[in-house]
Structure 1
């Protein structure tokens, strides 16, 4: 019996020795850490000195700055908490997702080729826009001479990015036509394979540099054939499935050695589609 009493007293003594959690230093240390972290977060997110107030836009010529600025502010102004109709918003520079903002600008404005986003503490975002340079005009297969044909500027990757109101805007660039599965085409779409665009650019440079001949029109009649119409109103037929460089070498040989500048006035076509041979009329 005495042993049982001693055992019970020992348990009671141990229970009495346990400290309250509020008297433990670790409790107050953890609470202090939480308070500091929350204070820093609140300071970074809501302090007025870190709210984006300035957006500097440069490099854009065709895209209106006000349109870029409006899109940027819509992306920067973020909802932190929403309860019913009440929203707690922040424009903190630390919450700006540069990659997302970049992608939204590129998606909204097909004319934009690249966007560099830079945060300039404490309140400024810099947007440097690089706009696409057209390499040619793309017109629907209905034909560039038809009034109903839609024509667009096209870039080096075969993407159309700006609709032309008139072919007077062509600036002596070649017109590319190609049959599409749908007549409905929109800016931002890839309509011509980039390898075809590269071949046309290479042919254009060669003709202009070596013979002062311009390309008037390029017809991609099927994936294997490219028909070039020159400003002298004769045509060149290329096989897109063969080496373009070798076909250009054959073309140069003909124009230098067999077809004189004066005889080009009556020339109808040069056919380069056959290996090791070339025909002209």
Structure 2
């Protein structure tokens, strides 16, 4: 069987053809490059937020736009406003977070300021409000002060020559319904020498429990508003806020002295009360006429004031201008000079 072979006509070679006769090949256009827009958006967004963060950080934290410029202090009656201002300024100079100071009202710590004030003063309540952009308001509700404490501290002692002093003490006896008065005869006592002591004075406010509320600077007008208690302490002793110097019973007794003496028909006024802290049951009131009344807390105050009235009316009479003291401490006796 004879196989038939297909004949393929060879393709014509174009290599040797002139350029003009060569067939044109169809050129393929390159595919366009695709750009990932999401990456560009993320980059732009990141730059925007970084710039916005830097601007906000500067505007709200480091710029002076929110620095505390105005400080309003209200409610203080006994605490000097300059001392509260000093505490606030110390707080403003402290750092809140790293390099951020508390002078910025957004980072100012109200609790830190409250603690700083309570460390130095006794107050019922403290209210602090931040009023944007740069005002701080501080309102104090002070613990009610009841008395003024005058503290005398010896600073120098000078000695004088010995001298003899003769005391002319009135003698007499006054009989009353409740009290009798035995006045001792004149005595002569010789002092070997005198010490003249110079004192410095500090003033404090006390509450009804004898607790130191705050220190204070007093004028004569201020001393008329509250009962005044005078004590003497050594220069080594320091008095701080919250110290308990007197008990409530002593404070109440002093109030009674002021109240009872002011009701006397002889028009006697108490200037201040002197206390010796080493003697628990005695005190001395000093009148505006500069004579003294010596009292005992273990004897009824009404009884002692009644004796004083009788002594002023029946024995002392018009000699009050030269009166130095009236001793009422002994129950049935009165001594005066």
What TM-score range do you get, normalising by the shorter chain?
0.5 to 0.7
Deviations 1:73-114 (A, max 9, x none): 4424653543xxxx2335454544434313323545x6x856
| Equivalenced residues, count | 219
Change (3 A) 1:94 1:202: farther
Cα deviation, residue 65, structure 1: 4.9
Picking from 94, 98, 113, the partner of 2:110 is 98
Q: Which residue of 1 aligns with 2:100?
A: 88
Q: Which residue of structure 1 lines up, in the alignment, with residue 199 of structure 2?
A: 149
TM-score (structure 1 length as normaliser): 0.56
- 1:139 corresponds in structure 2 to 152
**8 A contact 2:74–2:139 mirrored in 1:** yes
Instruction: Provide Cα deviations, 1:203-252, integer angstroms capped at 9, x if missing partner.
Output: 1222123353233541325252223143252432213xx4xxx7222224
Greater RCO (CA < 8 Å, at least 6 residues apart): 2
Q: For residue 300 of structure 2, give the secondary structure of its aligned residue in structure 1.
A: helix
In structure 1, the residue corresponding to 2:276 is in which secondary structure? strand
Q: Are 1:230 and 2:286 an aligned pair?
A: yes
Distance 1:202 1:55 in 2: 42
Aligned to 1:254: 307
Q: Determine whether 1:118 maps to 2:128.
A: yes
Q: 1:69 to 1:221 in 2, by over 3 A?
A: closer
Q: Which residue of 2 aligns with 1:79?
A: 95
Matched, 1:69 2:85: yes
Determine whether 1:193 maps to 2:246.
yes
CA distance in 1, matches of 2:205, 2:82: 25
Q: Name the SS of the counterpart of 1:279 in structure 2.
A: coil
Kindly state the Cα deviation for residue 174 of structure 1 after the two structures are TM-superposed. 4.4
The structure with more radius of gyration:
2
Q: Tell me if 1:209 matches 2:263.
A: yes
C-alpha distance in 2, partners of 1:67/1:227? 33
Q: More strand by proportion, 1 or 2? A: 2
| Structure-to-structure mapping, 1:7-18, within 5 angstroms | none
Relative to the length of structure 2, the TM-score reads 0.49
- What residue number does 1:55 align with? 71
SS at match of 1:139: strand
**Counting helix residues as a fraction of each chain, which structure ranks higher?**
1
Does the 8 Å CA contact 1:163/1:187 hold for their aligned counterparts? no
Gaps of 5+ in 1: 1-37
Structure 2, unmatched stretches of 5+, are 1-52, 157-194
The match for 2:315 is 263
Kindly provide the CA deviation profile for residues 102-145 of structure 1, in whole angstroms up to 9, marking residues without a partner as x.
3323545x6x85663321432432123567675242324789x9
Counterpart Cα distance in 2 of 1:214 and 1:69: 38
Contact in 2 for aligned 1:236/1:271 (Cα 8 Å):
yes
- Structure 1 pair 95–134 and aligned structure 2 pair: CA distance change class (3 A): farther
- Return the offset for 1:69: 3.5
